[in-house]
Structure 1
């Protein structure tokens, strides 16, 4: 198996046809077809099939595509690590951010990267935390901002901030508490809109509830922050989240947030990297910059509800 075969295969999948991939790669289409056939013969599986919509991946092809992407990225990182200077890092760095963090961190980090490291291309991926964990394990991400429930065995983790989860609902909602704060037991008795069990704040809420001898009531599972926001505005329930991802709605009065006490629900936000895949100089520089930007945001009060961990 050769690296060029991996590049050819990824290009065919990305462009959806042999002819378009051949043009982009500057390779004759018969040669591209031959390399694909040799790759399939070596793997003993069909990776692609023709359809009315172009070349589509088989189930085996979808699996191989993920591995091929990770391998090609690690090769590019290795090449970049050898040639780049420690005083002037350059190259591409991929950083994963959960939906609930990107609103606070993404734009300040992009601005700081452009100013400090103009030769680094920062690629931001916004996903649910479960997906980011898998991408970081496979090497498709250099770094990811995750939470304190990640598997410590796979990652090296640097604490960034702590965030309190708040009880948030539409202003004037039937779910709104009467007092200035509410106990966790009261919050759990409401209809809560939360991600599925393997994602985001849900494992944290369940862990704290279990530790307090409490059980969750009615749950509406929504993994998309945009859809969760729409459900809140439609008054389908309340949620337990940090204020940052819904700050615009809270500031304009469309939503209201209440502190949760007895016990409070707090999450640790961490910057994670693989223990098995070395960071390039550029990735290490971005990791340091993430910590600096986070400290600045907290010092200026620009990351509401967060304090340095």
Structure 2
């Protein structure tokens, strides 16, 4: 088994196509197919199902994928282990962020990484917390910022902050200094599906008021669609300040505090069985530092540091 075979397999599995992977890897497709065939022969199992529209990992392929990613990451980190010097940090760190506030973390962090660790690149993914945790435990992510999920017990989770949720409405609508949670049933709402953490929080809070949660007028598992619906006055939503701060500054969306206050807890997580590379460890610590600094400077509202 050769390291290049692991890299070839990972690229094919990620792209889902031998032909596209051959272009990305700069290797002829027949040679790529031969390398994967040799790998499968050595392992004694098929790793990929060949289909007319691409490839799909077998059950054995899924298991191999997670371990192969860890092996390749550790190999890529060997220069760091030898040099043990921050200035010499090299490698790629995969970071998962919650859809609602991904930009609040991503842009300041990227700027800091480029300044402090020019040899480190950060791959950023934004998804719901449940998906982030699955990708974390599978090895696809090194670090994930996860909100209000009891499954954080299955990972190494550092509590970072409590984040307040607001009623987001068109700036043309004025709901007063605060908005009663019970009155959410009186306005059209755009919310994500029931599998989303914010939706579960909102539904539970409304039930706590002795009211059956209403069906949202617009169900959208997309922050951009929900923001546009709110701006257009088609519906209100429940979001953290960080999800609509640019629109608030532009004067197109208003954020009204809910009464009683509704918050979610934010954790920075790593997999329990993962050995972070030096680059990943540096990004993990920098993410906490940058986020705390921005909050303390008043650049991120509606949050309380833990």
Alignment TM class, shorter chain as reference:
0.7 to 0.9
Change (3 A) 1:186 1:15: closer
- 1:111-168 Cα deviation digits (max 9, x unpaired): 1111222222122112232321221121100001111224033211112222110001
Structure 2 partner of 1:224: 222
* Cross-structure match for 1:244: 242
Q: Please give the TM-score of this superposition, normalised by the length of structure 1.
A: 0.85
The equivalent of 1:110 in structure 2 is 110
* Structure 1 partner of 2:272: 275
Identify the range of structure 1 (130-139 vs 64-73) with the bigger mean alpha-carbon deviation: 64-73
> Does the 8 Å CA contact 1:163/1:307 hold for their aligned counterparts?
yes
- What's the counterpart of residue 153 of structure 1? 153
1:11 deviation in Å?
Answer: 3.7
In structure 2, C-alpha distance between the alignment counterparts of 1:20 and 1:290, rounded to whole Å? 32
Change in 2 beyond 3 A, CA 1:92/1:20: closer
Could you tell me how far apart the structure 2 residues matched to 1:274 and 1:237 are? 38
How far apart are 1:86 and its partner, in Å? 4.0
Structure 1 unpaired stretches of 5+: none
Question: What residue is the counterpart of 1:297 in the other structure?
Answer: 294
Residues 149 and 203 in structure 1, CA contact (< 8 A), matched pair in contact too = no
Alignment of 1:57-136 (within 5 A): 57-58=55-56, 60=57, 67=63, 69-84=65-80, 85-88=83-86, 89-136=89-136
The unaligned stretches of length 5 or more in structure 2 are none
Any conservation in 1 of the 2:113–2:283 contact (CA below 8 Å)? yes
Query: What's the counterpart of residue 162 of structure 1?
Result: 162
Please give the TM-score of this superposition, normalised by the length of structure 2: 0.85
Which residue among 263, 267, 278 is the counterpart of 1:266?
263
The Cα of 1:266 is off from its aligned counterpart by: 0.5
Shift of 1:82: 4.2
Counterpart CA distance in 2 for 1:106 and 1:45 is 34
Aligned structure 1 segments of 4 or more residues deviating by more than 6 angstroms: none
Q: What is the total number of aligned residue pairs between the two structures?
A: 298
Give distance in 1, aligned partners of 2:4 and 2:191.
Answer: 44
Distance 1:290 1:86 in 2: 20
